[in-house]
A and B are shown apart, each in its own frame.
Chain A
Amino acid sequence: MERMSFDLAQTPLRELNAFLHREASAGRVKQVVVTHPDGAHNIAVGLDCPVEVEIVGHAGYYAGGMNKLASITVTGSAGTGVAENMMSGRVHVKGFASNGAGASMHGGLLVIDGDAGLRCGISLKGGDIVVGGSVGSFSAFMAQAGRMVICGDAGDALGDSLYEAVLYVKGRIKSLGADARIEAMTEADHATVKALLDAAGMAHDPRDFKRVASARNLYHWNADADQEY
């Protein structure tokens, strides 16, 4: 049983997820195709083995959440919290993604071909996010580690209260969040952007990107700052 199909118009979602947890984890299936996702929540969540899952259509909330090792593709759009808390592996959204894409990710690669909504990569703890389109406001809020490549524009307050995550933006940044600043791109940054774009299958010139990182002024409490940063 190399390949298996689930039609969610016929089969309950729990059956699919139970199958992925049981059969795929035991190595008995390599590829799973999911048809008629029709916006259902929690498709292919909590996977922990290198299975390939293709979701043909639009996924609801938390698709591919908590992923470990699996490679999950959504051919349509993804709802709130796609790949949230991903540990490793890959989640690829070919359409747009709603709010909170890749929230709290620890590892792996999240690729969004279209736009991502607000709060993309919020509290990023590791791993990489590559967005082919633009991201909404408050993206990378309190992002602690990991990297984000944004090929379009960024909304308000990009990278507010950033820790050690690094953001690369090709388009316009509407506004930077507190303690986020634009820094010069080094050769290492160009190589990083190129590697991430290659991994995402996107073609852009790394020299067109800006680097956004933390100014680290918020790292230490400054009683004299009077809450002005």
Chain B
Amino acid sequence: MCGIVGLLVKTPALRPRLGELMVPMLIGMTERGPDSAGLAVFTEPLAESARKISLYSGMCEEGADFDWRGLGHALNAHLGIEAQIQPQGNHAVVTVGIAPEPLKRWILEHHPKLHILSTGRAIDLYKDIGTPGEVAARYGFDRLAGSHLVGHTRMATESAVTPDRAHPFTAGEDFCLVHNGSLSNPYGVRRMLEPHGIRFETDNDTEAACRFLEWRLREGDDLETALQKGFEALDGFYTFLMGTADKLALIRDPFACKPAVVAETDDYVAIASEFRSLAHLPDIRHATVFEPAPEEMYVWNA
């Protein structure tokens, strides 16, 4: 079991309240996923040439005492850039004005235990072990602002309970995926992707789905085509919720083994595994509430 939540605000005035509206959604899914939680929030995108990278130091010996300022100085000195770094305990967002690959290579080489959570112009990503309430408080999820987000509460079945195996998973830039369910062919998908130069960071089944779909998008498929290929390539039980810089997308396996419910008003689209995570939302009594059909694509634009 796991819990999924997603929220996209249509009214720009609600963007500063995105996190505040979402926290009860995430906490509402605690029974479905008490061991880890995570969240990707999509903000106003940075300039075309700029990138931000979310980093996690919880798997380093220093943990939350990681020397983020020192990392910022070292990056600037070695790469000749002016990186901005916003640390928060075991998490930091590094913003740079260059292509992200040299930066990521340098980090992997010099700080192999630092985990790169996400890369892009719009995405900030947080995930850690602990109850959804603890993780939300650790990073101040209630203060997050943005146009849309994807969240997850985990009850691990397919791989160990570690921060890097928590969801959301990311691949490429400004793409993330959360999963409720279990895939039956993740190793087959991996073996198909690895010869394309796609590198895996964990043994988690969800990572295979995430990297497969991002690979299709990078190969030029639009989201709908990529999802259609996902239906054909990915076997098992799943409700997937994906975020891109300007979209939320949801699919369920043909047997609809894992739940999902959607509530839509003029102001927002909210998605959760169960209605109990939507019950607190403003004007929910007048929302259109429906259950997404299996093997259908649902895409909402921010």
Measured between beta carbons, the chain B residues less than 8 angstroms from A39 are 274-279
Query: Which of A60, A96, A136 is in CB contact (< 8 Å) with B274?
Result: A60
Query: How many CB-defined contacts (below 8 Å) exist between A and B?
Result: 49
Which of B160-168, B212-220, B287-295 binds A?
A: B287-295
The answer to the question of B256 belonging to the interface, with a C-beta cut-off of 8 Å to chain A, is yes
- A96's nearest neighbour on chain B, judged by CB, is B291
Query: Which of A38, A136, A138 is in CB contact (< 8 Å) with B275?
Result: A38
- B289's nearest neighbour on chain A, judged by CB, is A77
The answer to the question of A47 belonging to the interface, with a C-beta cut-off of 8 Å to chain B, is no
* A36 vs chain B, min Cβ distance (A): 8
Distance A38 CA – B259 CA, assembled complex (angstroms): 16
Does A99 contact B256, Cβ atoms closer than 8 Å? yes
Does A58 contact B289, Cβ atoms closer than 8 Å? yes
Number of interface residues of B (CB under 8 A): 17
Per the 8 Å Cβ criterion, residues 245-277 of B in contact with A are 254-256, 259, 261, 274-277
What's the dominant secondary structure at chain B's contact region?
loop
Does A38 contact B289, Cβ atoms closer than 8 Å? no
Known contacts A118-B256, A136-B256: A76-B289 contact under CB 8 Å: yes
Measured between beta carbons, the chain A residues less than 8 angstroms from B277 are 39
B119-154 near A? 1/0 per residue, CB < 8 Å: 000000000000000000000000000000000000
Measured between beta carbons, the chain B residues less than 8 angstroms from A123 are none
The answer to the question of A88 belonging to the interface, with a C-beta cut-off of 8 Å to chain B, is no
* A48 vs chain B, min Cβ distance (A): 26
Does B259 contact A77, Cβ atoms closer than 8 Å? no
The answer to the question of A95 belonging to the interface, with a C-beta cut-off of 8 Å to chain B, is yes
Does A118 contact B294, Cβ atoms closer than 8 Å? yes
Measured between beta carbons, the chain B residues less than 8 angstroms from A38 are 275-276, 279-280
Does B289 contact A95, Cβ atoms closer than 8 Å? yes
Measured between beta carbons, the chain B residues less than 8 angstroms from A36 are 279
Contact-residue size bin, chain A (C-beta under 8 Å from the other chain): 20 to 34
What's the dominant secondary structure at chain A's contact region?
loop
* A37 vs chain B, min Cβ distance (A): 9
Does A60 contact B259, Cβ atoms closer than 8 Å? no
Measured between beta carbons, the chain B residues less than 8 angstroms from A99 are 256, 259
Measured between beta carbons, the chain B residues less than 8 angstroms from A77 are 261, 275, 289, 291
Distance A36 CA – B279 CA, assembled complex (angstroms): 9
Does B290 contact A79, Cβ atoms closer than 8 Å? no
The answer to the question of A132 belonging to the interface, with a C-beta cut-off of 8 Å to chain B, is no
The answer to the question of A98 belonging to the interface, with a C-beta cut-off of 8 Å to chain B, is yes
Measured between beta carbons, the chain A residues less than 8 angstroms from B291 are 77, 96, 98, 117
- A156's nearest neighbour on chain B, judged by CB, is B254
* A178 vs chain B, min Cβ distance (A): 17
Measured between beta carbons, the chain B residues less than 8 angstroms from A98 are 259, 261, 291
Measured between beta carbons, the chain B residues less than 8 angstroms from A96 are 290-291
* A133 vs chain B, min Cβ distance (A): 11
Measured between beta carbons, the chain A residues less than 8 angstroms from B289 are 58, 76-77, 95
Measured between beta carbons, the chain A residues less than 8 angstroms from B293 are 136
- B255's nearest neighbour on chain A, judged by CB, is A118
Measured between beta carbons, the chain B residues less than 8 angstroms from A79 are 259, 274-275
Distance A60 CA – B256 CA, assembled complex (angstroms): 17
- A9's nearest neighbour on chain B, judged by CB, is B279
Distance A137 CA – B274 CA, assembled complex (angstroms): 20
A75-90 near B? 1/0 per residue, CB < 8 Å: 0110110000000000
The answer to the question of A16 belonging to the interface, with a C-beta cut-off of 8 Å to chain B, is no
* B239 vs chain A, min Cβ distance (A): 12
* A120 vs chain B, min Cβ distance (A): 12
Measured between beta carbons, the chain A residues less than 8 angstroms from B276 are 38-40, 60
* A191 vs chain B, min Cβ distance (A): 34
- A80's nearest neighbour on chain B, judged by CB, is B259
Measured between beta carbons, the chain B residues less than 8 angstroms from A118 are 255-256, 294
Distance A38 CA – B274 CA, assembled complex (angstroms): 10
Distance A65 CA – B29 CA, assembled complex (angstroms): 22
Known contacts A96-B290, A96-B291: A60-B255 contact under CB 8 Å: no
Measured between beta carbons, the chain A residues less than 8 angstroms from B255 are 118, 137-138
Distance A60 CA – B255 CA, assembled complex (angstroms): 20
* B284 vs chain A, min Cβ distance (A): 9
Interface CB pairs A-B, < 8 A, 15: A36-B279, A38-B275, A38-B276, A39-B278, A57-B279, A60-B274, A60-B275, A60-B276, A76-B289, A77-B289, A79-B259, A99-B256, A117-B291, A118-B294, A137-B294
Please list the 8 inter-chain residue pairs (A to B) with the smallest Cβ-Cβ separation, ordered nearest first.
A39-B275, A39-B276, A38-B279, A58-B275, A118-B256, A39-B274, A39-B279, A38-B276
Chain B residues proximal to chain A, CB less than 8 Å: 254-256, 259, 261, 274-280, 289-291, 293-294
Other A-B pairs beyond A79-B259, A79-B275, 7, CB < 8 Å: A38-B275, A39-B275, A61-B274, A76-B289, A80-B259, A96-B291, A98-B261
